[in-house]
Amino acid sequence: MIRPPEGNTAQHRRDLEIFEAWPKKDRCARFTLLSCMHDDLIGAYEHCATSMVMWDQLRFDFGGTFVTRLRSLVLKFEIYKKEPKNSMTKHLRIISAMIRDLKNDEIALSDEQQVQAVIRYSPDSLVTMRQILTHNENIKNFADVSRHVELEAKREEATRATVFFA
């Protein structure tokens, strides 16, 4: 943080107060970061001048995605199947979470890949819906396909309920 320019307005006084309080807050942040480390790591990071520099160095040293985590995410995504106890909404949330996890670990799926994943993971009872989704050119992203699949699941559930009462 740099010292604010001199002045005698209320804003300048507030800026100066913030500037003077900053070193204390930075020391507290550095102490907190160091106290969370194992003893062998403290020596490697106590030389950092500010908490931000320390945080950036920690992110650089430990922020990468491990290959094993990446493999497990990809494997989970590839072998996923809808469990019978899950509703279609929960099923779509799980797929969305897997896509988000992959994106966070720098494997961004294209819209087409996301649509294909939903089609591939939809249950066998929606075979005709799969065909419709595959050939429908208006479905361009995950939101479109999930909306269609949820509506179809609700329609199917209503049909089952009607047959049950009859």
For 16-32, write each residue's pLDDT tens digit. Answer: 899 899 889 998 998 89
Instruction: Please give the Cα distance from 38 to 154 (Å, whole number).
Output: 53
Tell me: do 58 and 127 sit in the same domain.
no
Give this prediction's pTM. 0.54
Return the pLDDT at 101: 84
Confidence of residue 89 (pLDDT cuts 50, 70, 90): confident
Domain for residue 131, yes or no? yes
Q: How many domains does the chain have?
A: 2
> Is 52 domain-assigned?
yes
Confirm whether 4 is domain-assigned: no
Is the residue at 3 inside a domain?
no
CB count within 10 Å of CB 97 equals 10
Give the structural domain span for 112: 67-165
For residues 44 and 39, give the distance between their C-alpha atoms in angstroms, rounded to a whole number.
10
Q: Which residues of 111-139 are buried (b: 16+ CB within 10 A; e: fewer)?
A: eeebbebbbebbbeebeebbeebeeeeeb
Mean pLDDT for the chain overall: 84
